Amino acid sequence: MRSELFGTLSDTDELLSSDVHRWTLERDGVRVRVLTYGGIVQSVETPDRTGARADVVLGFADLDGYLRHTGPYFGALVGRYANRIAQGRFTLDGHTYPLARNNGPNALHGGERGFDRHVWAAEQAGPYAVRLSRVSPDGEEGFPGRLEVSATYALEAGGALSITYEAVTDAPTVVNLTNHTYWNLGGTDGKAGSAAGHAVRIDGGRVTMADGDLVPTGELLDVTGTRFDFRAPRTAGSGYDHNYVLDKGVTARAVEVAGLHDPVSGRTLGVATTEPGLQLYTADHFDAALPFEPGAGIALETQHFPDSPNRPEFPSTVLRPGEVFRSRTVYTFGTDA
């Protein structure tokens, strides 16, 4: 494991440091690079069926790329609340909290400056692990409570990448964290073709139906006989930005719930999580300003459901003083031969 200077933010109000470092983890044929800016997974190098290793995530070679292209959240750690909160507000214990509205009328992925746009403190957490941490002050982007949060990135035996999140608060708040990596198992190495030919599997029999602003309506659609059914692996194509209700629900340990397969390279990806939901996003909204074409990657964002703070029927995202928020997701890499 090693750490190196990756870049420097020229205009920042960070209390810790404006320097951005890159941590490299390597084990059992897998190499992962993580940035202290935004907790970004910059690269994941894995072998194909012939043993040739290539980067399988969308990212940039320098810090400037991430500063210029913040909207797609490339590889980022997303919070304080991943996904959307309707109308940029929620009520907790009788008090209504207005949030930054950065997605039409709604709050998205933590607001104007969410966790993805801060420099995190970093420390080695074992021979193959780095722990990132920061304090989100009370009122940041409108969210209540001083939140102490950490994310530990580790390479497990066999080269699986785990991300373990923990948080505590001094006042009632809501928390929903995810990683926003885009996967292209064909290999990117600075550029990428389409990931539309990847086979997708998701162990979710329902999706949270959404309105035109991608906010849940409250309806849970049975995927049987619809284009949303990925319970048996099939090609994803395009047109997906939907939250799946995972059949397993919330679990204490990470359970495998999804997978990708690239038939050309033979690479496979398995996703295990403690979370009850997973957002499938096929990146159809990439525009001409990006060096990647629409559909160049597929995001599988493990999470609680969008707009849960306003939907008491959804699994709760409330965190109270004295409680510990814990969430864990594991990405397993392999080949079909």
Please enumerate, by residue number, every residue annotated as part of a binding site for beta-D-galactose: 83-84, 180-182, 241
Which residue is catalytic, options 180, 198, 242, 261? Answer: 180
* Token code pair at residue 190: 């600075």
Q: For residue 68, what is the enclosing H or E element?
A: helix 63-68
Structural contact between residues 239 and 307, judged by C-beta atoms closer than 8 angstroms: no
User: Residues 6 or more apart from 48 whose CB is under 8 A from it?
Assistant: 54, 187, 265, 266, 267, 335
Both tokens of residue 155? 């390479």
180 annotated active-site: yes
Indicate which residue of 21, 141, 301, 304 is catalytic.
301
Residue 161 CA, chain-centre distance (Å), reads 13
Asked if residues 270 and 234 have their Cβ atoms less than 8 Å apart, the reply is no
Q: Find tokens 């948080």 and name the residue.
A: 167
237: left (phi over 0), alpha (psi -120 to 50) or beta: left
Q: Nearest CA to 90 among 172, 212, 207, 166?
A: 172
Strand partners, 169: 147
Cα–Cα dist 105/86, whole Å = 7
CB-based contacts of 324: which residues, under 8 Å, 6+ apart?
A: 166, 167, 168
- Beta bridge partners, 89, equal 98
- 304 carries an active-site annotation: no
Q: Residues 47-76, buried b or exposed e (16+ Cβ, 10 A)? A: bbeeeeebbbbbbbeebeebeebeebbbbb
CA distance 286 to 70: 12
Query: Are 132 and 115 in contact, with CB atoms under 8 Å apart?
Result: no
User: Where in the sequence numbering do the catalytic residues fall?
Assistant: 180, 301
